[in-house]
Chains A and B, each alone.
Chain A
């Protein structure tokens, strides 16, 4: 389990010491060291340390209330940390206001100005910089093209745009600011599934083409998986795990991450005298313990539904359960089965192309191999 937790710089750069470090690729563009945010009596962000690398697409996922929006707002300069340091290429920026940071946030509500046309919305940051009207217009038209909107949208009332179009306008406006880092606060959450999928891919393309650093937050790990170079999982104000999508999926740091990734079969196990048994019922179970948990007496076993199989005979897998098919769900290209055994409910998933052993709704045998299960700390 190779956890890609924050590789902290040996010595965090002192405030204002790095005068010009923009070109140093080794230095993270944004660095958080022990950052916390407390609102009267409530800790929204709890001691987070994280390096955000130049040019990466980093997604922070977590359930609502996990503090991810607060974290993002601190990075954008809309909120100040209660403690800890945020540095931008080595310069302390804790108290630098949003408008002075080379970063830009795309809000969940998009925060498009309803009384301005599409063009004036996009030009807003240019106007703030004092760019002349003609140059503003030329740049706005370029940006419209970049986000794949027709030129005649320039004069269109932004409130008359569809959800997907507004998304693009917000993106163009953020790019008009020409930030080094773009933050996204779940901007796609209000869109329908198909449009969301399309825009996710476009965003990924835009990331590649622009070479800018993207920091995205969402509650949907599925969304994170599609777009990100790295994913950070947050829970109750803490960063639980940071790693590549593969690492998050294949080697979750704990039960929370494992369950957050999708529907899974999870059960607590403990080491008895004769080997491992399932927590409450004492059924023997074969567990492949990872090295770093060698001495553990308690653990949680996570089996993804796609690693559960229908068996012809009891000897076909390390762990075998007898149960009945209680329900089946179509997941499009795959089928999911709910199997009820004497003690618990299992989920089994298989491709539609496969046929499962044991037809009908009668008794079936299911099972998994020990090495297909993920063992995490209880």
Chain B
């Protein structure tokens, strides 16, 4: 293969390429990947290893790899410790978020692929744009909507109706999560649905298949890689969410990320925070690896 992107067409030619002789034996792909890989090793892998290191350090110490103890985990798994509730809330809300988003996003994703036609790109941009507004600003907008004397309350008061009390409940936390993570479900799902060839659906219809049969036997299986990525992404991000519970939920629910943050900040117990983070990472990492192992990214992204 020519690797002309690096200009090294005919890399194996020693005499015609005196420069870069040292790189000769290294494939172009490896050369191109190395800056990213190096950066990720230092910026992603190393921090994670540090967290793991801290998780096994003596409680309330601030140096890593100096001591080794399982005490932090023992503490977390102690029934007297209520941190498991945060885990349960986070995972349960994340699961509910995924389920709700599957239903909310499917029609929109279908529309983007099959219905909207030339409006598709405009609709896509409308749904991407919120990603560029920080989530606290958007969530804060919701408190202005739901708060006493806020937009909803004010409107209902005009009609002579009592204002609802929705803020600071687990339900509004869930709503905030569904709201925040919608694009993360929508776009992978759209990608998945766009992998279903339209003529396949037509062929199935031609054979007399019913709508449900087409959906179950053709659309769903072929779109599954995209849907899986969307579900995984939303679950993982929602499991680590914290802003929704703080800004909308008013601490009616404590999320696990909140506990981690408290351990790192107010209670100054880094090893405990690290141990909690390691447990969360285990859930997230395990799930991600299990799902990703089944995916062929070339096919999904490149449609080859």
Contact = CB atoms under 8 A, between A and B. Distances in A.
Interface residues of B, number: 9
Given A78-B9, A78-B10, A95-B15, 13 more contacts: A77-B10, A80-B10, A80-B12, A95-B10, A95-B12, A95-B14, A96-B10, A96-B13, A97-B13, A97-B17, A99-B9, A100-B10, A100-B16
Interface residues of A, number: 9
Interface string B1-12: 010000001101
Nearest to A80: B12
Contacts of A96: 10, 13, 16
Contact of B16 (A78, A80, A97): A97
Contacts of A95: 10, 12-16
Interface in A64-97: 77-78, 80, 95-97
A78 B10 CA distance: 7
A78 B14 contact: no
Nearest to A95: B13
Interface in A209-258: none
A78 B13 CA distance: 11
Contacts of B10: 77-78, 80, 95-100
A98 B12 contact: no
Contacts, number: 27
A182 to B, nearest CB: 19
A80 B3 CA distance: 13
Nearest to B15: A95
A77 B12 CA distance: 11
A28 to B, nearest CB: 23
Interface in B191-239: none
Interface string A88-118: 0000000111111000000000000000000
Main secondary structure of the interface of B (DSSP, over half): loop
B2 A78 contact: yes
A100 B9 CA distance: 10
Interface in A53-67: none
Contacts of B13: 95-97
Contacts of A97: 9-10, 13, 16-17
Of all A-B residue pairs in the complex, the 9 with the closest CB atoms, nearest first, are: A97-B10, A95-B13, A80-B12, A97-B9, A97-B13, A78-B2, A97-B16, A98-B9, A95-B12
A111 to B, nearest CB: 11
Nearest to B13: A95
10 contacts: A78-B2, A78-B10, A95-B13, A95-B16, A96-B16, A97-B9, A97-B13, A98-B2, A98-B9, A99-B9
Interface in B1-49: 2, 9-10, 12-17
Contacts of A77: 10
Contacts of B15: 95
Contacts of B16: 95-97, 100
Contacts of B12: 80, 95
Interface in B38-75: none
B3 to A, nearest CB: 11
B9 to A, nearest CB: 5
A229 B12 CA distance: 34
Nearest to A97: B10
A97 B15 CA distance: 10
Nearest to A99: B9
B89 to A, nearest CB: 51
A38 to B, nearest CB: 14
A58 to B, nearest CB: 24
A211 to B, nearest CB: 28
A14 B27 CA distance: 31
A233 B102 CA distance: 56
A376 B14 CA distance: 47
Contacts of B9: 78, 97-99
A15 to B, nearest CB: 12
Of residues B10, B12, B16, B17, which shows the largest number of chain A Cβ atoms within 10 Å of its Cβ?
Answer: B10
Contacts of B17: 97
A98 B2 CA distance: 10
A77 B17 CA distance: 14
